[in-house]
Amino acid sequence: MRKIKKFIFPGAAILFSFYLSILFALGGIIGYLTTKHFCRKYIGKGKIKPLIFKCGSWKLHFHHWLIGCLVFLLISLGGWLSFIPNFCLGTVGGFIFQDIYCDKEWYKVIFRKRAHSSVG
């Protein structure tokens, strides 16, 4: 199953992107590579912390796939979809794809804080 995720999923995404538009596909590739580099350089090394909000015993993690989906939603609801270039839409798509594809815990958006146990 892991091999399918590593090869089929990205390949299908790229083929579908080229079907939509070459500019959309190029934007997606550039968005993916830029986001991967940024995450490795800044978030992975702890220079920038992820957006996690604490509310009582719960945590809300704003993954960048969620932020990208909110951007798509706002563009769509605002009626600006036809005004945004395909390249920019593809870049946001690559931004979303990178998080879902590379983060093993991409689905953990709302979760409980773990209680710290003291060893003594």
Domain encompassing residue 38: 2-112
- 12 part of a folded domain: yes
- 57 part of a folded domain: yes
User: Residue 113: which region, alpha, beta or left (left: phi > 0; alpha: psi -120 to 50)?
Assistant: beta
Written as one letter, the residue type at 56 is G
User: Residue 79: which region, alpha, beta or left (left: phi > 0; alpha: psi -120 to 50)?
Assistant: left
| β 58-61/110-112 pair status | antiparallel
| Total domains in the fold of the chain | 1
pTM of the model: 0.71
Radius of gyration of the chain (CA): 17
| Residue 56: both structure tokens together | 């009582």
- 117 part of a folded domain: no
- 120 part of a folded domain: no
- 46 part of a folded domain: yes
Tens-digit pLDDT profile for the chain (120 aa)? 555 556 666 767 777 766 668 888 889 999 999 999 998 998 888 888 888 888 888 888 888 889 999 999 999 999 998 899 989 999 999 999 898 888 888 888 888 876 554 444
